[in-house]
Amino acid sequence: MPTQEEFEKKARRFPTLEPTRDRFYDMALNLLRDGYEIEAYILFLATWNFAGFRYVLTQFNLDSFRKTISEINPVFARLSHQNFRDASFEDARLCEDIEEIYAKLREVVKQTGAVKIMHLRNPNLFVMWDTGIRSIFKIKNRASPEDYISFLKKMKKEFGSIRWEDRERTFAKAIDQYNYVEEADKKKLKEARHGN
């Protein structure tokens, strides 16, 4: 578990590692707020999940994607008041809703893309992941809905005592930023060891 100082330092270092893509995050949020929901999701996937999205894109059906989004929007609406700090990931109803959204999105944009969209739709509740972050927390790459709930529980345990008062980034986003920097640091250390 990181200290408050370690968490803040790593979370705030994130924009220096990803200055351009960090701005695309804000653009996607603005598109979503302005009512361009599908465009926001596509921009976010194309910039923050490009490694996986390029494979999905060859068979991507925009109409099917729109239909999936339409089906899960009522579930998103039920969760709109939820935030990571206060959410109980032991609550069966909450977990069922999260699992339903994740399962339906995973069918069209895989496990990383699903969570990216979930976070963009509710940046207060959903912590993002990718292959590297799943690896850090020993979660299999082809993650199930239950794996995502388990991840959220781990994030709660790991970061539950951290205070975060930034108005520009939600606590869930700060956790993602910390995890991203942590994974980048571990990767850099591993490369340095193999280079010596």
Question: Residue 103, SS3?
Answer: helix
Q: Looking at residue 59, what is its pLDDT?
A: 81
The span from the CA of 152 to the CA of 24, in Å, is 24
Q: Identify whether the C-beta of residue 127 lies closer than 8 Å to the C-beta of residue 155.
A: yes
Number of domains in the chain: 1
pLDDT of residue 98: 98
pLDDT tens digits, residue range 108-124?
999 999 999 999 999 99
- The pTM score is 0.93
Residues 126, 118 contacting (CB under 8 angstroms): yes
Domain range for 133 is: 4-195
Residue 196, pLDDT > 70, answer no
> What is the DSSP secondary structure assignment for residue 61, as one 8-state letter?
-
